[in-house]
């Protein structure tokens, strides 16, 4: 058994001091410091924030690797690299590439998912896959490859229902509503509305059919207009989880507070990070297409925005600073809400007793100093 002391514990949206967090592979509870059991290994947090591990539900790549490559070593590199950012679990996210490549990526993620659940895995745990496409609208494809877009087909996805946790698709495409109904009735896959030119009415039809999530709000979708509210309008008024890329580029930071106030526990921070994440400016690829990175911007050659180089801990920092939130309130959107969105809240997302001991010690700049996954120390800053 271990005990963390001298920290500020992020418990739900509250902050608790003068306590000790007990854990082994699971969280055992928060107790007064004079109630630490004899023989416990004591870890001094030295005033740092003691947070649940961050969960990234939408990340394509990192450190030169991409989930769509179908490369086992590539996923390992991503998983290990994410530890530095305080990410303890994630969904490797595929692009609209050929169906053969997508299936190969699913097979690869499936194999690594099982391996990542073991204590000796050197990286963040893989909770499944997020399939961004291939059932998207060419008019809002963004950086998705138009040649690889397919008509909605529930059976293609149900074949991989053991590994897919989120599927992004356009509800207005022919056959999409039927596919949404079948997928949500026959699996636990969360269907997300994204890369879509749907009207407000079509988006709500998708939600009525079973979609419960919206991919990177405002981006690659019909915008909010007072006479045609579009997908953005539907996302804001319906009880659906919405992703936010809080890099201050994809969405203006002036909206962060508004989005948090209106969506509450239905707002999830994600990165949409590409293989360029963690590297410098330059030319990379995304879904087989060249992308160009300059600062926080990733674009195709025609100027289209193409993913990000955002780190999830930076997203938490940006939300905190621009929405005037406490550390606990900001972290909530990358922990509790993320786990809730994919039905993993019984195991992940908070420091409640009985959950996996996924714990991160952050400083006030949201830089990770120590990362534990299921109670095992996976990362120490500077080592």
Active site residues: 272
**Beta carbons within 10 angstroms of residue 153's beta carbon:** 16
The token pair at 119 is 């204590």
Q: What is the CA radius of gyration of the chain?
A: 20
CA 152/CA 287 separation, integer angstroms: 19
DSSP string computed for 10-54: EETTEEE-S-EEEESSBEEEEE-GGGPPTTPEEEE-TT-EEEEPE
Alpha-carbon gap, residue 325 to 295, rounded angstroms? 26
Q: Return the percent helix, strand and coil in the chain, to nearest 5.
A: 30, 30, 40
Burial environment of residue 168 by CB neighbours within 10 A (0 to 12, 13 to 18, 19 or more): buried
Between CA 53 and CA 59, with CA 54 as vertex, the angle to 5 degrees is 140
DSSP three-state, residue 367: coil
């Amino acid at each position: 058994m271990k005990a963390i002391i001298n920290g500020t514990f992020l418990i739900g949206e509250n902050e608790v001091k003068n306590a000790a967090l007990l854990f082994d592979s699971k969280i055992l509870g928060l107790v007064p410091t004079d109630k630490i059991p004899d023989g416990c290994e004591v870890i001094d947090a030295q005033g740092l924030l003691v947070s649940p591990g961050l969960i990234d539900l939408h990340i394509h790549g990192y450190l030169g690797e991409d989930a769509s490559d179908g490369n086992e070593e590539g996923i390992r590199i991503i998983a290990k690299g994410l530890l530095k950012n305080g990410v303890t679990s994630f969904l490797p996210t595929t692009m609209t590439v050929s169906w053969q490549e997508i299936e190969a990526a699913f097979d690869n993620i499936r194999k690594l998912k099982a391996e990542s659940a073991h204590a000796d895995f050197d990286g963040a745990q893989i909770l499944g896959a997020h399939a961004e496409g291939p059932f998207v609208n060419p008019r809002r494809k963004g950086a998705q490859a138009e040649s690889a877009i397919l008509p909605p087909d529930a059976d293609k996805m149900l074949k991989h229902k053991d590994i897919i946790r989120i599927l992004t698709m356009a509800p207005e495409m022919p056959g999409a509503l039927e596919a949404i109904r079948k997928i949500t009735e026959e699996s636990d896959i969360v269907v997300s509305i994204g890369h879509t030119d749907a009207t407000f009415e079509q988006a709500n039809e998708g939600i009525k059919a079973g979609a419960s999530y919206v991919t990177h709000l405002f981006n690659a979708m019909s915008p909010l207009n007072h006479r045609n509210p579009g997908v953005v309008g539907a996302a804001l008024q319906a009880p659906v989880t919405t992703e936010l890329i809080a890099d201050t580029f994809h969405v203006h930071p002036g909206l962060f507070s508004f989005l948090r106030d209106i969506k509450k526990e239905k707002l999830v921070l994600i990165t949409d990070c590409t293989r360029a994440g963690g590297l410098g400016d330059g030319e990379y690829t995304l879904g087989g297409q060249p992308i160009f990175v300059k600062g926080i911007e990733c674009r195709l050659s025609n100027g289209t925005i193409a993913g990000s180089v955002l780190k999830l801990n930076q997203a938490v920092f940006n939300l905190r600073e621009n929405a005037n939130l406490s550390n606990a309130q900001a972290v909530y959107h990358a922990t509790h809400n993320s786990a809730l969105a994919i039905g993993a809240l019984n195991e992940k997302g908070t420091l409640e007793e009985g959950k996996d001991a996924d714990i991160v010690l952050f400083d006030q700049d949201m830089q990770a100093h120590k990362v534990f996954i299921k109670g095992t120390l996976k990362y120490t800053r500077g080592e």
